[in-house]
Structure 1
Amino acid sequence: MDVVLIVITLLIGVIGGFIAGLVGIGGAIIIYPMIILIPPLFGLEGFTAYTASGLTSAQVFFSTLSGTNRARKRPFFNLRLVGYMGVGMIVGSIIGAIISQHFTEQMINYVYIAVSILAIMLMIWKVKPTISASIRVHWSMAIVGVFIGLISGVIGAGGAFIIIPILLTVYKLPMNTVVTNSIVIAFISSIGAFVMKLFQGFVPLEHAIWMVIGSLVMAPIGMKVGEKVPDAVQKAIIIILIAIAIIQLLT
């Protein structure tokens, strides 16, 4: 395996892991385009959209697993919220991973771009979150989880980059609650996507292992930093990362 490619995949994992911990997402929103765009910049053969989605699913699975262990101990963790959305998302992600085999690479990229634009619109939409200590969990969260899971399964993501804006704008949950629980929900969702991508042969382990190592090292660090970052800054970081990824994939 090329040493340069090892360094690149490790670096991608480091960045994705830090972002996952910082803003409560699995890192897919920035990992997916980086996997596709960075290797060719160094004269290396680029990954296909199928392999990129597989590597993304591996990175998201392990980075959210690391974040989940810490999130469960935080006061904002809500088991019912995680249960409703998590079950829906794992079902949707398995179905999404299966149907993604019938998508062209361009179609997979278009799904990523379309969902990313939706995520930005929801994040910009100003909604006053509830300040109640009691978080209302609604059955509709399971239905929403299925649809998010479908999209997540296609691009190999945990779906936190769309879970966050939906919980903030539609259900008006506080940012601390959203960030804490979204990474746990994303982990549950990533189980289905990762297992299916692995079974389909879209997860080259020789590349995935370095990405995973970088993620596992940096996710806890990102979470510690995130505890000191204001809500508005966390939201701005997510929006900027999504916008950059969209622009790069369209150019």
Structure 2
Amino acid sequence: MDYGLIATLFVIGFIGSFISGLVGIGGSIIKYPMLLYIPPALGFAAYTAHEVAGISAVQVFFATLSGVLALRNEKVMNYKLVAYMGVAIIIGSFAGGYGGKFLSGETISFVYAVLATIAAAMMFVPKKGLDDVPLEQVDFNRTIATVSALVVGVASGIVGAAGAFILVPIMLLILKIPTRMTIASSLAITFLSSIGSTAGKVMAGDVLFWPSAIMVIASVLAAPAGAKLGTRVNTKVLQGILAVLILGTALKIWFEIATK
């Protein structure tokens, strides 16, 4: 493998994983378009949409695992929420991860763009008083949490993303979970989701070993640092970063679809 490509993949993995830990997402919202467009733009061989989805799925697994371990002593994780949404999303993501092999690259990109657009719209809805509730008093609707996680799991499994980029807006806006608890819990839920989507992509033969290994190394280094920083940054700043990232990615993917 070319050293320039190795460096490129490492930087993509590091940036995506740092943001993953910072705002409680798997990082595919960043890494999917970067993996799809940056290597060929720099003169390296292009990866197909299926290969990018496979690499992303494996990388998300290790990024979220590293982030969860970094936050295990911070006491901001809602384990009941993780249990309800985690079980539902792992079932859905496995089905979507394996079923994605029967879809075209254009369809995968379309699903990704739709998810990102919905998530972006939700992030710009005001969330007044969200972070005023003490963490130990937080409650949520179990049925809505389970059903939403199942649906998101199927759709996100198709693109090799763990789904946190749309679960986070759902947790903030619909379930009314405080920001820091949302970030920590979504990392754990995303880790569970990534088990299903990773297994599905491996079974489908979409995972390239060396690119995935390079991205995993970057994940283990970057995700814990981002997770630790996320517990100290102002919650409005965290919400703003996530909203901008999701909106920018949605616009980029729609532009690419429209110009093909």
SS at match of 1:26: coil
Tell me by how many angstroms 1:26 deviates.
1.0
Q: Deviations over 1:16-40 (max 9, x none)?
A: 1100111111111001010101011
Alignment of 1:230 onto 2:234 = yes
* Equivalent in the alignment of 1:207: 211
RMSD (Å) for aligned C-alpha atoms: 1.2
Structure 2 unmatched ranges of 5 or more = none
Residue type of the partner of 2:102? H
* Equivalent in the alignment of 2:149: 145
SS at match of 1:126: coil
In the alignment, the residues of structure 1 paired with residue 181 and residue 13 of structure 2 have an alpha-carbon distance, to the nearest angstrom, of 26
* Equivalent in the alignment of 2:126: 126
The count of residues paired between Structure 1 and Structure 2 equals 251
- 2:21·2:224 contact (CA, 8 Å) conserved in 1? yes
* Equivalent in the alignment of 2:105: 105
* Equivalent in the alignment of 1:54: 54
Q: Deviations over 1:181-219 (max 9, x none)?
A: 000000000000011111211110111111111111011
- When the two structures are superposed, what TM-score results if normalisation uses the length of structure 1? 0.96
* Equivalent in the alignment of 2:5: 5
Structure 1 counterpart of 2:158, from 154, 166, 186 = 154
SS at match of 2:137: coil
Tell me by how many angstroms 1:79 deviates.
1.2
* Equivalent in the alignment of 1:82: 82
* Equivalent in the alignment of 2:43: 43
- 1:71·1:181 contact (CA, 8 Å) conserved in 2? no
SS at match of 1:241: helix
In the alignment, the residues of structure 2 paired with residue 41 and residue 104 of structure 1 have an alpha-carbon distance, to the nearest angstrom, of 22
In the alignment, the residues of structure 2 paired with residue 40 and residue 248 of structure 1 have an alpha-carbon distance, to the nearest angstrom, of 16
Structure 1 unmatched ranges of 5 or more = none
* Equivalent in the alignment of 2:20: 20
In the alignment, the residues of structure 1 paired with residue 7 and residue 203 of structure 2 have an alpha-carbon distance, to the nearest angstrom, of 26
Q: Deviations over 1:8-65 (max 9, x none)?
A: 1111110011001111111110010101010111112211110110011011000001
Tell me by how many angstroms 1:247 deviates.
2.9
Residue type of the partner of 1:131? V
* Equivalent in the alignment of 1:188: 192
* Equivalent in the alignment of 2:249: 245
- When the two structures are superposed, what TM-score results if normalisation uses the length of structure 2? 0.93
- 1:80·1:137 contact (CA, 8 Å) conserved in 2? no
In the alignment, the residues of structure 2 paired with residue 78 and residue 22 of structure 1 have an alpha-carbon distance, to the nearest angstrom, of 17
